[in-house]
Chain A
Amino acid sequence: MISKEELDRAFDARFAPEIKEKLQSARVAVAGLGGLGSNIAVMLARSGVGHLFLVDFDRVDTTNLNRQAYTIPHLGMNKTDAIKLILADINPYLDIKTQCVKVTPENVSSLFGDYKYVCEAFDKPDQKAMLVRELLTQTGATVVSGNGMAGFGDSNGIKTNKINSRLFVCGDLTTDVGGGTGLMAPRVAVCAGHQANKIIQLILE
């Protein structure tokens, strides 16, 4: 197995040590491990974010394979278990915590209260609004949310929007699923990339 020192050396070849240290000590939560969250988790792990807390209540199924990080061997597993396997193959020295639970207004504070940065990566609009609202009113977390990434419209329509000092919303803000518009890997990944990059900016600034 590859050693931690080898992985660190590969990182050091590209970035200054203080960047690595900031990322390694950062703690980020991701709520929802679907198209957005599974890709965000992979990108943060590749970037060396040291402590990830990943939450989802769902299992991997065949409709996920078109855009989520999972592959056929993960079918039927809890997404929280599947993502741990994927991340362990990218960097086995990260601290990955998971919880297989449905997020409600009642458990937002106990789940995410210790995290400075939380990615909202749910798929249902009422759940997205609930999580953003509850995080901003119950915790001190800075929230990076995804909103509007369905279909195959122009990639450049997806932006990172600063709503206030604690809320960033990535997406085109309008393209809903339904009415013949589904989710496809590229645009979901573009939005996930916006969210992951904003998290890294926040950690490093």
Chain B
Amino acid sequence: MVTINGENLNAAGKTAAQFIAEAGYNVERVVVERNLVILKKDELEITVFQDGDTIEILNFVGGG
């Protein structure tokens, strides 16, 4: 299981980019942290979620 934003999900084996798209996020508007390390944009396609990972997906909305 992978813990994503506090929820245990069956997402091991997916890339970060796959998960982001399937969950309905826009890749341009998110910052992804894997085990307390922020992923660079070009790492999203090649980072594969593993069992035991803790992922935070921070989704930005407009306004400022």
Contacts and interface: CB of A to CB of B under 8 A. Distances in A.
B53 to A, nearest CB: 15
B38 interface: yes
Interface string A122-158: 1111101110110011000000001111100000000
Interface string A169-184: 1000111111000010
A79 to B, nearest CB: 12
B56 A163 contact: yes
Nearest to B30: A129
A149 B26 CA distance: 20
Interface residues of A, number: 36
A177 B63 contact: yes
A153 B61 CA distance: 15
Interface of A: 32, 34-37, 105, 121-126, 128-130, 132-133, 136-137, 146-150, 163-164, 167, 169, 173-178, 183, 188
A35 B58 CA distance: 21
Interface of B: 26, 28-31, 33, 36, 38-41, 56, 58-64
Given A125-B29, A132-B58, A163-B56, A176 B63 contact: yes
Given A124-B62, A163-B56, A176-B62, 5 more contacts: A132-B31, A133-B41, A147-B58, A149-B63, A176-B61
B36 A164 contact: yes
B62 A37 contact: no
Contacts of B62: 123-125, 150, 176-178
